Structure 1
Amino acid sequence: MSTTPFTEEALADWLSDIAGTRGPLSLTRIGAGQSNLTYLATDGDGTEVVVRRPPLGHLAASAHDVAREGHIMASLADTPVPVPEIFGTTDPDGSVGPLRVSDAPVVAMSVIPGTSLNSPDAAASISPEARSAAATGLIEAMVTIHEVDLVATGLDDLASHGPYAERQLRRWSNQWEKTKTRELPALDALTERLRAAVPEQTETVLVHGDLHLGNIIVDKETGNVNAVVDWELTTLGDPLADIGSLLAYWPTQDGPNLPGFDAALEPGFPDAEELAQHYLSRTGRSRDALDFWHVLGLWKVAVIVEGVVRRTRDVPANASSGMALPASVVEVLVDQATVLADQVGI
């Protein structure tokens, strides 16, 4: 099992060919993400490229597919969706011709100016007006993603057009079984409640799958969204799923809140209901199924956090900025989801 993210000489040669870097590179881990690993590669002239690869260690099949991420962003290059420029992607084994860049696939992309609002300190670095603009821009970016022409972008075959809720429940239930560190009957009970409450799906759109403040890059002065990043969970499905996931991440003044997602408590950010209303007003969609997707969002995030706990336990170097999420966060999320399910009749 490798604990080295890249073969640095091969990485330098590859980025020289596709992105114009020169000579040796310095690598700095960036972002607060606990899944795929993202680094800023900088050469001696100051030229910068972002490179992204899966976590270190053993991975569940089909998880952390950065090559698929690169394909999605490249497909969106000529749409209104703001994404980085994709310079290139290695083969699945991390090679490019004779170069072995890594032991896993790597995608290289442009650096987007701005800041990611992944902490209270980051949010405090911009004005309340810019925070409000960032939240508005996040919803507008979501609307734009849901408007993508799947056929024109070549993304129509990205995933099944079958019922999304059933697919999500199947995928994340399987993920739980593969990554769980202990039994959690409350999560199992919630899974069955969700299966019994699946709403009818009336449309299929491009769904980002993980859209929150930490996955947008905004202008520090205006709050305008310069890019949407982290397309690992993107698929085809029900548009309300993206709002449900956003509500699952969005903090409340009373808490409890997911560690690392409390930036939106700073003045200037709207509350969760305002976000939902903005989206529904912009799209004309009904909120009838939104409570289901909110509960499923909390349930899904609980499964994702369990995977983070497992990967960090197995390979501590996977933890972002040395921060390991405690397993207790999973129970907190399941409790929140269960309370909400009780309130809305799921």
Structure 2
Amino acid sequence: MGSPSTDLSVSTQIDGLIDLVALRAWLDDQGVSPGRPLEVVGLLGGGTQNILLRLRRGSRDLVLRRGPRHLRTSTNDNLRREMRVLDGLSRTRVPHARLVADCPDEDILGGAAFYVMELVDGLNPTVEMPWAEEDVTRTRRLCFSTVEALAGLGEVDHEAVGLSGVGRPDGFLERQVARWRSELATYARFPEYQGPDLPAVAAIGDWLDDNRPADWTPGILHGDFHLANLLVDPSTAEVAAIVDWEMATIGDPLLDLGSLLATWPRPGRPHGVGWSVDSMASAVTKPELVQHYADRSHRDMSAIDWYEVLASWKLAIVIEGTHARACAGLAPRDTGKMLHAWAVTLLDQARVVAGV
């Protein structure tokens, strides 16, 4: 689950994030290796919205997840939803970091809800892979294992695992276009932002509304499914865990597959994250990925292009927000330019798939 950060001393990294005395007492109350020494090993790399702290209690390796140092309005509610989702997943075979104990109460860590999960021994495939680039067999195994993990998630009966009431599945697809058009419109609040110079963003939205699937079955939606949110067992090339469940909800699971297709490496398109991802571009084809999912799902795949277009369009709008903030001096200008270029690429590929 990433590697501990070593840029700063551990005490400096965790200053103000946790009260070790309170945490030790809480872990004792939860029956998590009670009475054993507690050590904070360091910060783990991972998501940008929340903090991951690697702990060691006796001989047991754990990870604590809490909100950022400066909590946002919705942080604790999002974490409490994650706790519910992880508790539900504990009744399934979906690969994930197992929930050890959760604390929806905000008093233990000075206003931050948090939970503790098992440490997963895995690597992020967008950062490093230990096998050779020429090992196409193992790379294909990783690709197909990714789809199998996702299809397994989509097959979970969310009501049977206690996740009724997480999200609002009624009208989920109908809300999508209006929701993200509204988000794009909010960027006008930055006076320095000259408006969305995004090709066909309006036409693609119209196409999505005109071609929306009429029938679908609610299920667990990860909400941010892509290769960077996976941990992989380096010895088997199997997905060891899907991580970062902060956007999980009950919606249409095929949107997760759309997100995977939208962000999947493309031959000849630079990614800047190393050969491990670039090699996947030529290891499998899009039809292979879709068929592999279809073989493991009861869902109607006839509109999968629509889900890919929605995922590309939505992601383009989301990352354009950073460009808008960069124009206003609220984010690094180079980052804003890079993400704007990526948004244009996403819309170009959406336009091709949609035929608009």
Q: Name the TM-score, length of structure 2 as normaliser.
A: 0.77
Matched residue, 1:239: 253
Taking the TM superposition and a 5 Å limit, the aligned residue runs for 1:75-114 are: 75-91=88-104, 94-95=106-107, 99=108, 101-114=109-122
Contact kept in structure 1, 2:76 and 2:112, CA below 8 Å:
no
Is the aligned partner of 1:159 residue 2:172? no
Amino acid at match of 1:332: A
Contact kept in structure 2, 1:133 and 1:224, CA below 8 Å:
yes
Contact kept in structure 2, 1:8 and 1:25, CA below 8 Å:
no
Deviation at 1:51, TM superposition (A): 1.5
Is the aligned partner of 1:74 residue 2:74? no
Provide structure 2 residue ranges, at least 5 long, that are not aligned to the other structure: 1-13
Matched residue, 1:264: 277
**Cα deviations by residue, 1:166-193 (Å, 9 ceiling, x for unpaired):** 3333444455556786332528625455
Contact kept in structure 2, 1:169 and 1:195, CA below 8 Å:
yes
Alignment CA distance shift 1:315-1:341 (3 Å)? closer
Matched residue, 1:122: 129
Matched residue, 1:319: none
Amino acid at match of 1:42: R
Contact kept in structure 1, 2:54 and 2:61, CA below 8 Å:
yes
Distance across 1 between alignment mates of 2:270 and 2:84: 36
Is the aligned partner of 1:212 residue 2:223? no
Deviation at 1:149, TM superposition (A): 1.5
Alignment CA distance shift 1:81-1:288 (3 Å)? same
Among residues 138, 153, 167, which one is paired with 1:145 in the alignment? 153
Contact kept in structure 2, 1:123 and 1:266, CA below 8 Å:
no
Amino acid at match of 1:27: G
User: Bigger shift: 107-116 or 6-15?
Assistant: 6-15
Deviation at 1:307, TM superposition (A): 5.9
Amino acid at match of 1:107: Y
Alignment CA distance shift 1:314-1:152 (3 Å)? same
Tell me the secondary structure at the aligned position of residue 224 of structure 2: coil
Among residues 314, 339, 343, which one is paired with 1:334 in the alignment? 343
Among residues 41, 64, 72, which one is paired with 1:51 in the alignment? 64
Measured on the aligned residues, the alpha-carbon RMSD in Å equals 3.5
Tell me the secondary structure at the aligned position of residue 51 of structure 1: strand
Alignment CA distance shift 1:63-1:105 (3 Å)? closer
Alignment CA distance shift 1:74-1:315 (3 Å)? farther
Contact kept in structure 2, 1:16 and 1:22, CA below 8 Å:
no
Alignment CA distance shift 1:104-1:139 (3 Å)? same
Is the aligned partner of 1:14 residue 2:65? no
Deviation at 1:250, TM superposition (A): 0.9
Amino acid at match of 2:117: M
Is the aligned partner of 1:131 residue 2:139? yes
Taking the TM superposition and a 5 Å limit, the aligned residue runs for 1:175-190 are: 175-176=183-184, 182=193, 183-186=195-198, 189=202, 190=204
Identity within the alignment, %: 26
Contact kept in structure 1, 2:308 and 2:350, CA below 8 Å:
no
Distance across 1 between alignment mates of 2:274 and 2:77: 21
Amino acid at match of 2:17: F
Contact kept in structure 1, 2:41 and 2:53, CA below 8 Å:
no
Tell me the secondary structure at the aligned position of residue 283 of structure 1: coil
Matched residue, 1:291: 305
Alignment CA distance shift 1:41-1:79 (3 Å)? same
Contact kept in structure 2, 1:134 and 1:224, CA below 8 Å:
yes
Alignment CA distance shift 1:272-1:51 (3 Å)? farther
Distance across 2 between alignment mates of 1:278 and 1:224: 15
Q: Name the TM-score, length of structure 1 as normaliser.
A: 0.79
Deviation at 1:276, TM superposition (A): 1.9
Distance across 2 between alignment mates of 1:297 and 1:5: 37
Tell me the secondary structure at the aligned position of residue 211 of structure 1: coil
Taking the TM superposition and a 5 Å limit, the aligned residue runs for 1:26-65 are: 26-31=41-46, 33-42=47-56, 45=58, 47-57=60-70, 59=72, 61=74, 65=78
Distance across 2 between alignment mates of 1:271 and 1:325: 32
Alignment CA distance shift 1:168-1:329 (3 Å)? farther
Distance across 2 between alignment mates of 1:332 and 1:315: 16
Amino acid at match of 2:250: L
Matched residue, 1:321: none
Alignment CA distance shift 1:341-1:91 (3 Å)? closer
Distance across 2 between alignment mates of 1:193 and 1:277: 25
Tell me the secondary structure at the aligned position of residue 277 of structure 1: helix
Alignment CA distance shift 1:172-1:61 (3 Å)? farther
Alignment CA distance shift 1:341-1:51 (3 Å)? same
Tell me the secondary structure at the aligned position of residue 81 of structure 2: helix
